[in-house]
Amino acid sequence: MNPQLNTNTRKLHDLGQRIWLDNITREMLNNGTLARYIAELSVTGLTSNPTIFEHAIGSGDLYDAAIQKLAVQGLPCEDIFFELALQDLTQAADLFRPTLDASAGDDGWVSLEVSPLLANDTAGTIEAAARLHARAARPNLFIKIPGTPEGIPAIEQSIFDGVPVNVTLLFSREHYVAAAEAYLRGIERRIQAGLDPKVESVASLFVSRWDVAVLEGVQPQLHNRLGVAIAMRTYKAYNDLLASERWQGLVAEGARPQRLLWASTGTKDPALPDTFYVEALAAAQTINTIPEKTLLAFADHGKVGTPLPADGGYAEGVLDEFKREGVDDGALAARLQREGVQAFAKSWSALMARIRDKSSPSAGAGAP
């Protein structure tokens, strides 16, 4: 065993949960930080989104020369972005390739999101997913598609087309089940067509945003309990699906499970411990994609306690308490998904503006 391997993160790995980093920058690729996280912190994958890239490209000048070069070629801002993102993510995918090979394809994945402006455009999402997957030309790159009503049929078709999909912006058990059924339908169609059923997918449930949404509207004793309860309820649905006759039939045909992934696991309430969601969401056969700050905090002082119960545990009792406080979790899930789409669209607009500014001839005038 690597003598520098972190004990805390390794315990999560040994439990059966995989740790993915919810961040990417050119700096961490160039200075060896990501390679170190892989070697020392049991990080076995990576996710990205428009907000992450907006921060990465907007802070500092590491992307400036590449933006200028692409702008001179006459590429529009969106094409420049995807070129930059694919440069970073294919480099990251290559770093994770040994993990992919050692796990027989279970692990070692990176994720690239389609434009959030396509969240309500089924046909546009299908086309973009296929195009980005082909451009990446890596076996371990997920295309992120939001689990919106219009995204669900795009997920099914993309899986049928052989595109690995990370379903993003899921906020409830019902959102998860819709995404899982889309995955199943895509795999079933592949089997019927005589195609290989092994197309990887993960389903990303956002957790901490639930607690932020109700913080001001419920009794203090209920603060920061809703997100974990929703996750527990969803974990039960996930285990029920894996045990179902329908899924077992697909396993017999060679299909791989669409794993459940915890997203939005950094704490936003300063009253909470900085490792709260990582510790609360320890669960076998899942993935936790963790912000860099939270990953380092967990490596330093995190603890792995009792894993989530497969049967949902006390989740329904907690959710009943929130109902008595007037919280309609179905309506709130729909609202959180809409707000998630809007937040990513806002980051996308800011990202395009940054690239536009850096693309102008004057932006590079002072460069040596």
Condensed to tens digits (0 to 9), the pLDDT of residues 155-197 reads 999 999 999 999 999 999 999 999 999 999 999 999 999 999 9
Query: What does the pLDDT read at residue 229?
Result: 98
pLDDT digits (tens, 9 = 90+) for 129-139: 999 999 999 99
Half-sphere exposure (Cβ direction) of 181: Cα atoms closer than 13 Å:
10
> Any catalytic annotation for residue 144?
yes
User: What are the residues facing 20 on neighbouring strands?
Assistant: 45, 289
How many CB atoms neighbour CB 244 within 10 A? 12
Residue of 11, 69, 144, 346 with catalytic role? 144
List, in order of start, the domains of the chain with CATH numbers: 7-360 (3.20.20.70)
CA nearest 71: which of 368, 366, 354?
354
User: What are the residues facing 204 on neighbouring strands?
Assistant: 261
Query: What does the pLDDT read at residue 360?
Result: 82
Distance in angstroms (rounded) separating the CA atoms of residues 69 and 76: 12
> What is this structure's pTM?
0.95
| Helix spans in the chain (H) | 7-15, 26-30, 33-40, 50-58, 64-72, 77-95, 97-102, 122-136, 151-160, 173-192, 208-214, 226-242, 245-252, 276-280, 292-301, 315-324, 329-359
Among the residue ranges 42-56, 86-100, 304-318, 353-367, the one predicted with the least confidence is 353-367
With contact defined as beta carbons under 8 Å apart, do 98 and 108 qualify?
yes
What does R_g of the chain's alpha carbons equal in angstroms?
20
Q: Is the pLDDT of residue 364 over 70?
A: no
pLDDT digits (tens, 9 = 90+) for 217-231: 999 999 999 999 999
pLDDT digits (tens, 9 = 90+) for 49-86: 999 999 999 988 999 999 999 999 999 999 999 999 99
Gap between the terminal Cα atoms of the chain: 46
CA nearest 147: which of 112, 171, 163, 126?
171
Q: Is the pLDDT of residue 367 over 60?
A: no
Q: Is the pLDDT of residue 361 over 80?
A: no
Q: Is the pLDDT of residue 291 over 60?
A: yes
Distance in angstroms (rounded) separating the CA atoms of residues 107 and 38: 12
